């Protein structure tokens, strides 16, 4: 089973709420990417 499939949407919202406490947070945890990751990312995953 894919690791992302195991993450509850509610846990993700908890992460977003916690991250909102920090001024310079860049959010990568919500949404569906429309680009494929670089080969280096696939290699390290």
pLDDT value at position 44? Answer: 86
Residue owning tokens 């860049």: 26
Residue 27 and residue 19 in contact, taking contact as beta carbons nearer than 8 Å: yes
The string over 5-15, giving b where at least 16 C-beta atoms fall within 10 Å of a residue's C-beta and e elsewhere, is eeeeeeeeeee
Backbone angles phi, psi at 26, to 5 degrees: -110, 125
Decide: pTM greater than 0.75: no
The answer for residues whose C-beta is within 8 angstroms of residue 8's C-beta and 6 or more apart is: none
For residue 11, the model assigns a pLDDT of 79
Provide the pLDDT for residue 30. Answer: 62
So what's the pLDDT on residue 1?
56
The pLDDT, as a whole number, for residue 21 is 92
Instruction: Write out the chain's pLDDT in tens, 45 residues.
Output: 577 777 777 777 888 888 889 988 887 766 676 778 889 988 987
Tell me which residue has tokens 């509850």.
8
């Amino acid at each position: 089973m894919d690791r992302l499939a195991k993450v509850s949407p509610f846990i993700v919202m908890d992460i977003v709420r916690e991250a909102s406490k920090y001024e310079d947070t860049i959010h990568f945890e919500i949404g569906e990417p429309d680009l494929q990751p670089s080969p280096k990312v696939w290699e390290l995953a």
